[in-house]
Amino acid sequence: MKRIFDILFSFCILIILLPIILIISLIIYLYDKGPVFYKAPRVGKNGKLFKMYKFRTMVKNADKIGPSSTTKSDNRITKVGKFLRKTKLDELPQFINVLLGEMSIVGPRPDVKQFTDLFTEEEKIILSVKPGITDYASIWNSNEAKILEGSDDPDKTYMEVIWPEKKQLQIKYVKERSFTTDIKIIILTLLALLKK
């Protein structure tokens, strides 16, 4: 049932928001002069690597000239990118990953390999399910860049301040997962976005 819901939900979102997606794509292409999408390497179910689609919000090759964690004032972020990140519109292409079966609407947010390689045996349960667009941790920490702001080492701050709680919330989701839980998280996510 979860897979059917994922396909129908993501397909409807992509169709309904197609005009917005096309406009954003055109703005990025014309204004930022480069690729529209950023394919972020992430760890998925059972530790399998995949490319998570996002609208490109940073300069080309940003992952090669800075840390994987990003602060709000990171100078790699483009002007268009700042708006997309603030409104979370940069996440829209992830519905493509859902259609491809690499992600789910609800599930632990996928992380980079350098962090998942540090999982304890207990934490590896996070990789037993498909990663998602939203989860308990996404609602708890909807503005990661703001928390990392001013840090001399964003990756270190992420690991010390955000990651411990994020992992516990992801484990909580895996242990409690159900269709009812997914619907609750989707509703809470929508309320958080509207509030923002």
> What pLDDT does 11 receive?
96
pTM confidence score = 0.85
Query: Closest Cα to residue 93, out of 141, 36, 147?
Result: 36
Residue 45 · residue 131 · CB < 8 Å: yes
> What pLDDT does 21 receive?
96
> What pLDDT does 156 receive?
80
Instruction: Write the pLDDT tens digit of every residue in 79-125.
Output: 898 899 888 899 999 999 999 999 999 999 999 998 999 999 999 99
Residue 107 · residue 171 · CB < 8 Å: no
Instruction: Write the pLDDT tens digit of every residue in 149-187.
Output: 666 777 788 888 888 899 999 999 999 999 999 999 999
Mean pLDDT of 29-50: 92
Is residue 20 pLDDT above 80, yes or no?
yes
Strand segments, DSSP code E, in the chain are 37-43, 49-55, 104-106, 132-134
